[in-house]
Amino acid sequence: MKKFRNPLVAGLVAVAAFSLVSCAKKEVKMTSSAPTGNELLVGEVGSMTGGEATFGMSTHNGIVLAFEKVNAAGGVKGKTLKLISLDDQGKPEEAATAVTKLVTQDKVIAVLGEVASSRSLAMAPIAQQNRVPMITPSSTNPKVTEVGDFIFRVCFIDPFQGTVMAKFATETLKFKNVAILRDIKNDYSVGLANFFKETFEKSGGKITIDTSYSAGDMDFKSQLTTIRTKKPDAIFVPGYYTEVGLIARQAKELGLNVPLMGGDGWDSPKLKEIGGKAIEGSYFSNHYSEEDQSPHVQKFIAEYKAKYNIVPDGLAAMGYDAAIVLIDALNKAPEMTNTAIRDAIAHTKDFQGVTGMITLNEKRDPVKSAVVLKVADGRFKYQSTVKP
């Protein structure tokens, strides 16, 4: 057993135990013992390393917190929940390999993951084909749950998120001209850019330029130079935190002094680190705000802080919610078969999650509120809640 420490958040997150399955893949295990008849195996796939490592690690921490709580209280129907977590390093091919291993070799009863829509889209057909229920905590692209009746999510979807930010731009910020800078290789980014554009234009706004980059790029100066000539009021950048942070810096360097706007993909403590002062004054939509004073949110924050010594981000809250929705379904399912578990998840109704009340509709998506946050004074400051 070796110790697993995420280099990106070293010192911030608790150390999780892990063992190596192969040279390429890391397995983060909660326990070191082999499965026994008294355990229920659940799989998790996430980006524990790479440019989106905080997504995977925060989600993992949320899931582990939920599992430990239920195990400490006697488990599910007398059985201990055991989590097998695989790192996909932020790559769709690795996510597909990982879920294949979980369903064919480990024979897990359900899979939690992924965060990123592109990776959930790589996993979902495999879970569906093997008839193993999969719950993505936070993949917001509509196509994910369309893959089939074994695929669920506990977050809102991007047509809603795009509308939230388009309305915030026109109604609250009174912006008329917005540029779009989307990550062309990312299903989430492409979808969210389209949904934003649709509502923004319907509300009378103008997209002055719609341009793109690819995840992993480091230099955005040529796109930003072109954007500068269009004199937009803001730039909508529905990407993930690493690139968004760099884009914010390079925009400021070019004298492009307008706010950026984006979606849940910004949610990481790393955004503030990478973007520094340049990201201050920008806005994004999210699933949760740590400033929410609701008792269930504050209770979660207190428990999470007690275990990991940091304030949970939205990903941690979503990971926790995916886990407790699954646990609730396992408790309610009359037997531990794949169809019984699937049906129990599908019947999730008025379930209080940290990120809101969860009722799954016939598309296996919940309908939930979003929050708008502003990056200010090194924090994510709550602006408003938008109901569906």
Positions touching ligand PHE (CB under 6 A) are 55, 115-117, 138-141, 188, 264-265, 267, 314-315
Q: Kindly state the smallest distance separating residue 88's Cβ from ligand PHE, in Å.
A: 13
Assigned token pair, 278 = 């340049």
The residue whose Cβ lies closest to ligand PHE is 188
Residue number with CB closer to ligand PHE (81 or 116): 116
Minimum CB distance to ligand PHE, residue 186 (Å): 7
Q: Within a 13 Å sphere around the CA of 160, how many CA atoms are in the beta-carbon half?
A: 21
Name the minimum Å distance from CB 239 to ligand PHE.
10
Q: Which is nearer to ligand PHE, 115 or 344 (CB)?
A: 115
Nearer to ligand PHE, 188 or 300 (CB): 188
Minimum distance between the CB of residue 97 and ligand PHE, rounded to whole angstroms? Answer: 19
Task: Between 103 and 192, name the residue whose CB sits nearer to ligand PHE.
Answer: 192
Alpha-carbon gap, residue 157 to 367, rounded angstroms = 8
Between residues 159 and 265, which has the closer beta carbon with respect to ligand PHE?
265
Q: Considering the complex, what minimum distance in angstroms separates the CB of residue 291 from ligand PHE?
A: 17
- The dihedrals phi and psi of 160, each to the nearest 5 degrees, come to -70, -50
Instruction: Provide the minimum distance between the beta carbon of 132 and ligand PHE in the complex, in angstroms, as a whole number.
Output: 21
Pick 264 or 365: Cβ nearer ligand PHE: 264
Q: Please give the Cα distance from 376 to 379 (Å, whole number).
A: 5
Smallest separation, CB 303 to ligand PHE (Å): 20
Q: How far is the CB of 161 from ligand PHE (least distance, A)?
A: 8
Cβ nearer to ligand PHE, comparing 49 with 140? 140
The answer to whether the Cα torsion of 32, 37, 39, 40 is positive or negative is: positive
Residue closer to ligand PHE by CB (options 186, 223) is 186
As to burial, measured by CB atoms within 10 angstroms (0-12 exposed, 13-18 middle, 19+ buried), residue 299 is exposed
